[in-house]
Structure 1
Amino acid sequence: MTFADPAALLRQLFDAAVASAQPALCVPPHLPDPARVRGRLIVIGAGKASAAMAQAVENHWPGPLAGLVVTRYGYGAPCERIEIVEAAHPVPDAAGLAAAQRLLALPETLAITADDLVLCLISGGGSALLPLPAGALTLEDKQAINRALLASGATISEMNTVRRHLSAIKGGRLAAAFHPARMLTLLLSDVPGDAPVDIASGPTVADPSTCADALEIVARHRIALPEAARQLLESGAGESVKPGDPRLAANEVRMIAAPQMALEAAARVAEAAGLPAHILGDAIEGEAREVGRVLAGLAQQVAGRGQPFAAPCVLLSGGETTVTVRGPGRGGRNVECLLGFGVALGEHPRIHALMADTDGVDGREEIAGALWTPGTIARAAAAGLKPRAHLDDNDGHGFFQALGQSLVTGPTRTNVNDFRAVLVI
């Protein structure tokens, strides 16, 4: 690979990041020793990668298996011993509700004992895929809350704090339901900082946050809540399972893939091609367009001043930006970041960029992200497109799709958050 084809090089870096987090690679080294499992191995899980994780378990586990995992529509994988259910993401649906109910009922259905080992496979997307409302909340309430959270500009940690306290399965409740069986949770992180409690809203880990914390987030972001949700938080009835709860004492949690690992995989590919790679951070948050503006300024400094890095080089970053929805466009956060980057950058003959979600879905579109090239603004002008207007409308997908610069991967069956690569040549 040479710098003669910057777009192909950027795609190669993205592919390397995604490949590094494939469950077939990450799951097998963390499977328990069959000789140390006294009873049955029960497999449960949720997330965009959960079906592929279950398939990896099946391919490497010699003994009997039973279980159920729920994944996003289109993200299933063929399994013979573990049932795969598909449901909606990012706004939950009845299929996800039914799957969550079945998961919570499994301990009784399977007559779980202390000799059994529960292997829980958790990845990003699990919050929406396990929509089991607490108290008097309904699925329709959960759907409305999810839409409001997604449009509010709240960080993923803030959103999941609210979700944990309105759920009958998140915030450690799923693990508590399987007591006294031992539980091993394997996590693919899609959140800045890799906090287990924030990955799929932590269904198997203790939660130190409180209903009061959730209420503060709701107030700060002016999120409208159904009355049943407000009562649940204000009464304290929505409290999650807290650290020190004896029902979680025998649980073990392992992080098997994370954004930093994916960025390091991309960096190795860049350096093998003779291109210095600099990882700016794996947990960058903030308004997507503003993060894009900062990255544009940094790229210009590299190109024009050789600071803080000399060109040629590639600047890699991950994390999860947010979008405060103002316009009627199609989203999502990666293309909004890229469009903010491009508007701030303008025409520059030496700067290229790719920004995409490693799960293959940016926002609600079956589009991973997009590419920015030195000719993007000229092509937009020729097509009658105004980058600033599309940015104001939160319509990154509409802009890049019209130019043929969208990145479409199909389901990647993994999820280690956003991937951003800025190439300065």
Structure 2
Amino acid sequence: MDFSFSEKEELLRKSIAEFAKREIAPLVDKMEAEGGFAPELIPKLGEMGILGIITPPEYGGNGMGHVAKTIAVEEISKVCPGVGLTLEGHYVCTYLIQTFGSEDQKKKYLPRLTSGETLGSLAVTEPTGGSDVAGIQTMARREGDHYVITGRKCFISNSHVATIHATLARTGEGPKDFAVFIVENSFPGFSLGRKENKMGLRGATTGEIILDNCQVPIENLVGKEGDGVKQVLATINQAARPSMAAVAVGICYASLEEAARFARERVLYGKPISNLQAIQFLLADIYAQAEAARLLTYRAASLLDQGQPADIEATMAKYVACEAAFQCARWAADIHGGYSVIKEYPIERLFRDAWVTIPSSGTAQVAKVVLGRYAAKNF
């Protein structure tokens, strides 16, 4: 059991941190004001190799793996958690295609997704179903050499900035009659709906995708009819939840850094408040929660890199890390006092961002159902 990072991983962390401060930090205020991801970052993320970090080299990626992906998302989320969420939305698309797609699909789409040409999304959630897959109503029917898909997807990460969408649809009325299709913005019948005005994670674009008799070539069916739910659940467990946990870990450590800095600089009664035991207790709580969340998150990533099952570990990491992010941001806000509600202070944004991580990629309650069932059966 080795809890240390390799020299290569430490260099990656350093280079990603420098990239985030240089390229992303100057755009944070713009993304906060506009409520969406800055598209000018896409080619830069591609050039850095971040978009293809889990994709094999033969399809345009660098294949560094899940621990490397976690490092990248964590470091970027320290600067802007919204961009971390954008990457999570992108990785679920690339993961699904590279894991379940045909060789032709991989060669056609993965180089575009890893190079910085465009982003991807996973379009599953609808007004009538998300975690409840049975409630999904988007329907795909076969007509000759293509499928015609009709439905509306909501709360889709990267909706308005991605051009390639791995989309779940019904192919019949049975409980297993689902399939995933690769849908492009250019397909007839595709359009975009509303863009959500979120409370937090405003550096990520979230919105609706509308499919109105959208014509999708038959070769864009991923796997076969009946595989859809299995593919989506595997992608959520192995790509979405670990990535969301990494976003939360970034928030934990950003909150710690902001709280410690403020405590050292804020002088009351003639000395920095960092000398006060009450403040030190809060810093200790933030530090401990951040470390615990990080360990759970990297354990899940390490298992995935080893090719081992990690569904429970990823679910636990997502649940614990997101709850920890909110608690860490809350404690950091307590240290800031009245300054915590002033927008010029990063903790105001981090607090909002932390709150939004909890329902993202599966609510805390869904995670507890999964963990509770596992515990009841195995202990």
Q: Same fold (TM over 0.5)?
A: no
Q: What is the TM-score of this pair, normalised by structure 1?
A: 0.24
More helix by share: 2
Q: What is the TM-score of this pair, normalised by structure 2?
A: 0.26
